[in-house]
Structure 1
Amino acid sequence: MPCEPESARRARLLVSVALNTWGIDELAENGVQIVAELVNNAVRHTRCRVVRVRVTRPAEGVVRIGVADRCRDTPQQGHADDESESGRGLSLVEALSRRWGYDRKHWGKVVWAELEVQATEASGAC
């Protein structure tokens, strides 16, 4: 996707469709918020031309949402006060996910967050 603010909308749709397809649409609200924050961070803090959004199931009961860009700068969690208009994105990602992090690549990085699928949801998912 182009590294522009409008791509956050497309990324939210991608996550929503993936989670609905897997029958775990209960995670959609958190998933779309997470991907929007990750895409917006890439747009705001990198000089990338494109971002790649991936939604995977790396293990039983886990959904991973990742946003890749060609910038090697690592994400830094902000420390916003009550008056700040920005700096809360990764704190929100942390609050909504079971864990988050990043993987450095030779071409850039992938910032990701994982959602936990509840046992009753995981058993019915494809």
Structure 2
Amino acid sequence: MSCGGLVVLGVITLPGVRESVANARLFLRDMLPVGLPALDDLVSVGSETVCNAIAHTASGHGGQVTVGLLVGEGLYRLEVADDGAGGRRPYVKAEDGTESGRGMRVVEALSERWGFRADGDRTVVWAEFRIGNSSGNSDRGLSPACPTLVPTACEEEKR
């Protein structure tokens, strides 16, 4: 099944701890083809968005963060869902010379486009990366047309 023209390559749910940032990077590198021009940018954005979810939302207080990678006609879409931040939503912080607060500027600079959507108390941050021809599987994903989280990309379809 496709969701708004996108299909899921994989989804992973991780505990809201710092070590999960490295695990998210490994997951994304394992899911993407070697030599993909956008590989490093996509992995960097994944790292930033997972780190932000853990640092700034309930995910980092005993919660979880879910990372999804979807593919569609000419693009990859990264989606990171957190456990909520009391109604606060991600934004690009103005440059103030400090080392913190740069995460969403990195996301904005490295992705073709990005945004977020509320999912109840949760927030799903997404970023898109242009590619050449692509293909994927038929799992359901995190995209707006299919809001159900897939527990694992390796589940066999039930018939």
TM-aligned CA deviation for residue 5 of structure 1: 1.4
TM-aligned CA deviation for residue 104 of structure 1: 0.8
Partner of 2:16: 3
* Percent of residue pairs identical: 36
Structure 1 unaligned blocks of 5 or more: none
TM-aligned CA deviation for residue 24 of structure 1: 6.0
Partner of 1:70: 83
Residue of structure 1 aligned with 2:118, choices 96, 104, 107: 104
Normalising to structure 1: TM-score of the pair?
0.85
Partner of 2:25: 12
Residue of structure 2 aligned with 1:61, choices 65, 71, 74: 74
Q: C-alpha distance in 2, partners of 1:76/1:44? A: 14
Partner of 2:44: 33
Normalising to structure 2: TM-score of the pair?
0.68
Structure 1 vs Structure 2 CA RMSD: 1.5
Structure 2 unaligned blocks of 5 or more: 1-13, 136-159
Contact 2:58 2:82 in 1 (8 A): no
Amino acid across the alignment from 2:68? R
| Residue correspondences, number | 117
Structure 1 consecutive aligned stretches of length 4 or more whose deviation exceeds 6 Å: none
TM-aligned CA deviation for residue 81 of structure 1: 2.3
TM-aligned CA deviation for residue 25 of structure 1: 2.3
> Are residues 1:42 and 2:53 paired?
yes
Contact 1:62 1:114 in 2 (8 A): yes
Contact 1:98 1:115 in 2 (8 A): yes
Contact 1:56 1:65 in 2 (8 A): yes
Contact 1:98 1:116 in 2 (8 A): yes
Q: C-alpha distance in 2, partners of 1:43/1:13? A: 17
